[in-house]
DNA sequence: ATTATCATGTAAAAGGTTACATGATTTG
DNA sequence: CAAATCATGTAACCTTTTACATGATAAT
């Protein structure tokens, strides 16, 4: 699946694994993330499958850059994926909620501390989405050579997905606050 | 990580892999899911590690039941996990949002159709959380032998996590509706 | 008659994480 | 002077998914 994140970005512009990881961590990380290691291994696989090609750009004083470019086959694959309708809900894996589900097992004060810590973490995350992500996306993406018409359509969806991250954090924070309040009130 | 879902449920009561899968699909599926295959393999691993033990209950006309029970070591592991504070946000993997991020690449009408389909799917999901999950949890859990005091604490968190699922769906639906409306208005 | 439920698993492949290895340049 | 950034990757391991295999009973 990381496959399509990589093809998607390479479709805008040729770049290295290092560049791709940075882009991902600045733009899609709240709904799709990847480590550098994984980016490098998947890129290699995609090249073997003929969806991308690479060229080495020699550098001095640091490792040569391996710049990847999407092929016609890769572009078709990407478009096919985007056109295919999806009928299933995305399956979630949220370790903290799993913990919360079983928190009746531990004492109330420890549970409260866990919830309050998570509240802080999500407040920070929310701040990031509001204040930093928009600028980060704009900066990262300003180098892409897109026509004005195309750009408009892309910006619409980049911004829409960023907004979802923001709304998600707001919902999560509200839930944590309510749950903390309710837990404090709970019996003796 | 499925490990802890299994230990958590086995801590309430001894049961089979089949039972566990059903319980998971009825209660934790919106933040943690698993296939039957995975449940069986992880149970086997946990038994090798000494966190659970199993006994075979012979049956006629259908395969014998292998009933798993948590050990003292398993319980300590579970409690240790629950007591450990978590400082990272849960990492998300939401394929549909990844698609949405790149939807500027395909024509507007196809994108609209995708969003509208996902809206239907999430409306159904929301309905499930509101109408079916509470009863399903109660039914599944009514067989657990818990003291009234304990039960209260557990019910609090079961219900809290279910509410998060409900809130999540409401947020997601609102986002889809806004995004659909905005996309319809967009340019020509 | 067909589908769903109960009940177990194995084997192979795919996807993802963690630890290791290297090293110059730039910024604070 | 220390930390971050740029830039590549391999090896081992862990986790998860998909496909396969079996078969009786109960419900529609």
Mean residue pLDDT of chain A comes to: 93
pTM of the model: 0.94
User: Is residue B108 exposed (0-12), middle (13-18) or buried (19+ Cβ within 10 Å)?
Assistant: middle
Per-residue pLDDT, A139: 76
Q: Hey, what long-range contacts does B58-61 have (CB within 8 A, 24 or more apart)? A: none
From the list A29, A102, A37, the residue with the least C-alpha distance to B90 is A29
User: Is residue A119 exposed (0-12), middle (13-18) or buried (19+ Cβ within 10 Å)?
Assistant: middle
Considering chain B, what percentage of its residues have pLDDT values greater than 70?
99
Considering chain A, what percentage of its residues have pLDDT values greater than 90?
80
Per-residue pLDDT, B38: 96
Cβ pair A100:B157 closer than 8 A: yes
> What are A111-167's pLDDT values in tens digits?
999 999 999 999 999 998 888 777 777 777 777 878 888 888 999 999 999 999 999
For residues B126 and B166, the answer to whether their CB atoms sit within 8 Å is yes
3-class DSSP state of A54: strand
Cβ pair A96:B90 closer than 8 A: yes
Q: Is the dihedral of CA A51, B94, A127, A124 positive or negative?
A: negative
Q: How far is the CA of B11 from the C1' of D7 (A)?
A: 48
B8, B79, B95: best mutation site toward chain A, by most A Cβ within 10 Å?
B95
pLDDT confidence tier of residue B132, bands split at 50, 70 and 90: confident
Could you tell me if A183 lies within 8 Å of chain B, comparing CB atoms? yes
Per-residue pLDDT, A188: 56
Residues in chain B: 188
Per-residue pLDDT, A128: 86
Cβ pair A98:B31 closer than 8 A: yes
∠ CA B133-A87-A50 to the nearest 5 degrees? 135
For residues A89 and B125, the answer to whether their CB atoms sit within 8 Å is yes
> What are B14-70's pLDDT values in tens digits?
999 999 999 999 999 999 999 999 999 999 999 999 999 999 998 877 788 999 999
Between A84 and B60, the more confident residue is: A84
No. of helices (H) and no. of strands (E), chain A: 8, 2
For residues B88 and A121, the answer to whether their CB atoms sit within 8 Å is yes
């Amino acid at each position: 699946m990381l496959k399509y994140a990589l093809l998607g970005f390479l479709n805008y512009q040729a770049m290295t694994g290092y560049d791709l990881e940075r882009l991902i961590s600045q733009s899609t990380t709240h709904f799709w993330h990847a480590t550098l290691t994984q980016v490098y291994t998947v890129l290699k696989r995609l090249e073997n499958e003929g969806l991308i090609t690479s060229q080495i750009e020699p550098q001095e004083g640091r490792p040569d850059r391996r710049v990847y470019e999407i092929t016609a086959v890769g572009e078709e694959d990407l478009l096919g994926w985007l056109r295919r309708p999806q009928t299933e809900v995305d399956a979630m894996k949220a370790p903290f909620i799993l913990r919360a589900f079983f928190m009746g097992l531990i004492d109330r004060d420890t549970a409260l501390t866990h919830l309050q810590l998570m509240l802080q973490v999500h407040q920070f995350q929310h701040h990031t989405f509001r204040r930093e992500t928009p600028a980060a996306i704009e900066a990262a993406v300003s180098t892409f050579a897109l026509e004005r018409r195309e750009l408009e359509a892309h910006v619409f969806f980049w911004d829409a997905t960023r907004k979802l991250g923001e709304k998600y954090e707001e919902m999560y924070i509200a839930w944590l606050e309510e749950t903390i309040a309710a837990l404090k009130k709970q019996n003796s």
